[in-house]
Structure 1
Amino acid sequence: MGQILHGSARTTEAVRRAIQLRQESVRGAAKRYGVSPTTIQKWRTRQTTGDAAMGPKQPRSTVLTPEEEAIIVAFRRHTLLPLDDCLYGLQPTIPHLTRSSLHRCLERHGISRLPEMEGDKPKTKRFADYPIGYVHIDIAEVRTEQGKL
């Protein structure tokens, strides 16, 4: 099973473990593994050999304030309207709200998809119910170069 590294990784976990365990000079280890001396120093000070998480620790909007996000979330949970209807209902209150920023906000809070409602769609069955002893045979006609089969 392969190891998943982030795009900029130059070392694997085995190399990082070797860097941490060997008592070699920083310059010598950097030359041996083909990385910079700062990379060697970084891995020697870390306790683990796994990649650190990249990106923000707490995802947040650059367009909407936390108060505006709270308004959006409360509106969606209360009305259960589709995305476009929410947009048209919230734009008078939040004029700079766009469809994409609304969708990203709903995604962040885990309410981008409306819940399934009872009676929304008719229940479909895979196969029809037949009484015992009844045999159902499907017949299909296949057309090939030689003709019908």
Structure 2
Amino acid sequence: MLAIHPNARTTPAVRAEIARSPEPSGVLAQRFGVSTETIRKWRKRGPADCQDRSARPHKLPWKASAAERAVVCALRRATGFPLDDLTFIVSHFLPHLNRDAVYRILKAAGLNRLTPADRTRKPHSAFKEDEVGFVHLDVKHLPKLQDRDGITRKRSL
């Protein structure tokens, strides 16, 4: 059941009466203590549609372009990092994306929750025994993206 908005000046029954009434808008506005714009709105909707509608926006704006969203999704698939770790890495080359934006991107792509198979990664093979002083690095190549200055260049992780 839909609830009436707490600040509403009219009820669904009054709205239906407004929609059916042939009286002028000014007379109805005075009778019910609302503006003439409110009277016009309920007349336009008709007697069948007298419930409050959601005020939620139908479409949220994206901070990220399609290419940036693809990068975030590809990083999630390739690394399997949790949200906070992924946000930390993404913030280095896409500083305008915060944790909420990264989560929304993952949720829209269906990657917000990792499956148990993705969480338990296979164990890595043993590294080659080297002398002390050698460091092993894994490099992930990312597509070309624009930074804050508008310069497009290839990046790596």
Per the normalisation by structure 2, the TM-score is 0.59
Encode CA deviations 1:68-127: one digit per residue, 9 max, x unaligned: 22322333244332012212332343233322332343345553333344996xxxxxxx
Are the equivalent residues in 2 in contact too, given 1:59–1:108 (CA < 8 A)? no
- Are 1:20 and 1:44, in contact at CA under 8 Å, matched by a contact in 2? yes
The runs of 5 or more residues in structure 2 that have no matched partner are 121-157
- Tell me the residue number matched to 2:17: 18
What is the match of residue 65 of structure 2?
Answer: 65
Match of 1:56 in 2: 57
Distance 1:54 1:73, change over 3 A: farther
Q: TM (normalized to structure 1)?
A: 0.61
Tell me how far apart the structure 1 counterparts of residues 5 and 111 of structure 2 sit (CA, whole Å): 29
CA distance in 1, matches of 2:44, 2:77: 47
- Kindly report the root-mean-square deviation, in angstroms, between the aligned alpha carbons of the 2 structures: 2.8
More strand by share: 2
Q: Which residue of 2 aligns with 1:30?
A: 29
Stretches of structure 1 lacking an aligned partner (at least 5 in a row)? 121-149
> What SS does structure 2 have at the residue aligned with 1:91?
helix
